[in-house]
Amino acid sequence: MRGRDEDTGEFRGTSRSQQRREALEIFDLGEKLVALTPAQLAKLPVPESLIPHIEESKRITSHIAHKRQLAFLAKHMRREDDETLAAIRDALDANSDTARREVAATHRVERWRERLLAENDVALAELLEAYPAADRQQLRQLVRNAIHERAKNKPPRAYRELFQVLRELSGQTGEDAAAETDDADDADIDSDDIDNAGPGTRVTAKATTPYFFDPE
């Protein structure tokens, strides 16, 4: 980071290796933003000026063109102050923790549904003990209908409705569930990294100056 040298009083510049690390971290952050759904992105403190570049990165599907657009997004992100980027990272981390909890809750609901279909009244008794406010008759009828649908290879309407009822019992909201089912001159990364990195792969810094790299 930039700062004044305590001995000389002169301002220190950032080393090339540090610039490279910071640029790659921003590229990685941009990749995470592009991977979010619009609803998830709307919850983060992302400046409006970055939204069009994020949306364009989502639109481009060609591998190389996509990586170049991500680099262009990172270029614009580097123009933001440290506080803005830190706020985005913090919110993204918190959002990830929430998403993990939501996924775990969904898995619990799915396990209850499968147990009800496989064990019927035994599982229903345990469910009612865990959730006394549950409607026994409604659940029993949904289970019967779901079993019938499966046996007759019919559309899983009751199966889906059973999931909705169980999700409401667990306290998971519809919004939570929806979130789970729904210039290249200035780029930051080495051209080989661009070509070889697969989806979701984090590009790491190298000892040599990356192709396209311009930390200014």
How high is the pLDDT of residue 76?
Answer: 95
We report the CATH number of the domain holding residue 133 as: 1.10.60.30
Note whether residue 212 is domain-resident: no
Note whether residue 116 is domain-resident: yes
Note whether residue 206 is domain-resident: no
**Do 190 and 149 share a structural domain?**
no
Q: Write out pLDDT tens, residues 83-134.
A: 999 999 988 888 777 778 888 888 999 999 999 999 999 999 999 999 999 9
Q: What pTM was computed for the model? A: 0.45
The two tokens of residue 96 are 């990830």
Query: In this model, does residue 193 exceed pLDDT 60?
Result: no
**Do 132 and 190 share a structural domain?**
no
How high is the pLDDT of residue 5?
Answer: 52
How high is the pLDDT of residue 118?
Answer: 95
How high is the pLDDT of residue 186?
Answer: 38
Query: In this model, does residue 12 exceed pLDDT 80?
Result: no
**Do 187 and 129 share a structural domain?**
no
> In sequence order, what are the residues at sequence separation of 6 or more whose Cβ sits closer than 8 angstroms to the Cβ of residue 216?
none
How high is the pLDDT of residue 101?
Answer: 83
Q: Write out pLDDT tens, residues 15-71.
A: 888 888 889 999 999 999 998 888 888 989 999 999 999 999 999 988 899 999 999
Note whether residue 189 is domain-resident: yes
In terms of residue numbers, what domain contains 120?
Answer: 104-179
**Do 74 and 18 share a structural domain?**
yes
Q: Write out pLDDT tens, residues 132-189.
A: 999 999 999 999 999 999 999 999 999 999 999 999 998 744 444 444 334 333 333 4
Note whether residue 215 is domain-resident: no
Q: Number of folded domains in the chain?
A: 2
How high is the pLDDT of residue 173?
Answer: 40
We report the CATH number of the domain holding residue 20 as: 1.10.60
**Do 122 and 190 share a structural domain?**
no
Note whether residue 208 is domain-resident: no
Note whether residue 96 is domain-resident: no
How high is the pLDDT of residue 100?
Answer: 81
How high is the pLDDT of residue 40?
Answer: 86
